[in-house]
Amino acid sequence: MSCVKALVITGYGINCEKEMAVACEMAGADTTICHAQRLLNHQVNLNDYHFLCLPGGFAFGDELGAAKVLANRISRRESLIQDLKDFVAEGKCILGVCNGFQLLVKLGLLPNSDKEQRISLTYNDHARFDNRWIGHRVHSSHCIFTQGLDHLHLPIRHGEGKFVVKDKKFVDELISADQVVFRYHPNNPNGSEEHIAGICDSTGRILGMMAHPEAALYFTNHPDWLRRKEQSKREKTPLPEYGEGYMLFKNAIDYLNSS
C-alpha cells in the first residue's frame, strides 16, 4: 500500500471533493475527506499528510469574490498559514482546482508562498459561467504534476477564471521562472492574460489551475470518447484506460512516493 496520504478539503460550498478523492485513490494515495472547519480548528494535523487537495465549488457562495471568505478565515489564523508554508517546505504537494486555485491566489501561496497577492482570477470577459471542455498546452518543465505531458483536453466550470495581474511585467517574470504551467490552446475561453490557465510556485509542487482534472479520470469521461474510440479502431491503436486528467494525480503521487 502507498505510504502517501492525501487530504481533500470539503464544506462551505466546496462540491468536487468526492471526485478529487477518487482521483487520489486511483493514483495510489490513502485519502481522507475533511471539512474545512476541522482544519481551521486545528483538529486535523497537516503533518500527517503529504498531498493537500483544494477542490472546486463555491466556498461561502463566492460572497465578496471567489474563495475570498474562506481565504479571510484562513488568513486570520497565522498558525495555519505557517503550517501551510511548512507543509510545502517539507517537500509536500498542494493542488488547487478552480475555487481551490482562487483560494491559493487569495492566500498569497501562489505564485509564491509570501502571503502577498500579486495576481487574481476575475470575471470571464463574456460575463457568463462557462462549462465546456478546453484544450490546455503544458508549458512548465519543472512542475511535478505535468511531467511527461504536452497537451490536455479538460473541462472548465467557472465564472471567475480570467487570470489577471496588476503589473504586466510580472507575467514575464512568471514565464521566465517557468511557473506558467498551462495555457489555453487553441482558444482562450475567459480572456486570461497570455492565455494562462494554471501556474505553479517556484518549487513546482504547488499547482493551481482552473480546469477540473478530477472530472477527466476515465477515457469515457470525454464528450468525444465514441468518436475517439472509432478513430482508434481505424488506426489500430489501443484505447487508453484513463482520461487525460488522471496523470496529474499519478505524477504527484509517484513524486511523493519517490521523495
The model's pLDDT over 165-196, given as tens digits with 9 standing for 90+, comes to 988 899 999 999 999 999 999 999 999 999 99
Is 200 annotated in the active site? no
With b meaning 16 or more CB within 10 Å and e meaning fewer, what string describes 196-220?
bbbbbbebbbbbbbbbbbbbbbebe
pLDDT at 6: 99
The model's pLDDT over 85-106, given as tens digits with 9 standing for 90+, comes to 999 999 999 999 999 999 999 9
Exactly one of 50, 139, 195, 212 is catalytic; name it. 212
Tell which residue, 168, 7, 188, 3, has the closest CA to residue 100: 7
CB 196 within 8 A of CB 188: no
Task: Write down all domains in the chain, each with its CATH number in brackets.
Answer: 5-216+244-258 (3.40.50.880)
Exactly one of 93, 98, 143, 200 is catalytic; name it. 98
pTM: 0.96
pLDDT at 259: 87
Confidence of residue 2 (pLDDT cuts 50, 70, 90): low
Taking 3-state DSSP, the helix, strand and coil percentages for the chain, each rounded to the nearest 5, stand at 35, 25, 40
Whether the pLDDT of residue 218 is over 60: the answer is yes
pLDDT at 115: 57
Mean pLDDT of the chain: 95
Is 214 annotated in the active site? yes
Is 143 annotated in the active site? no
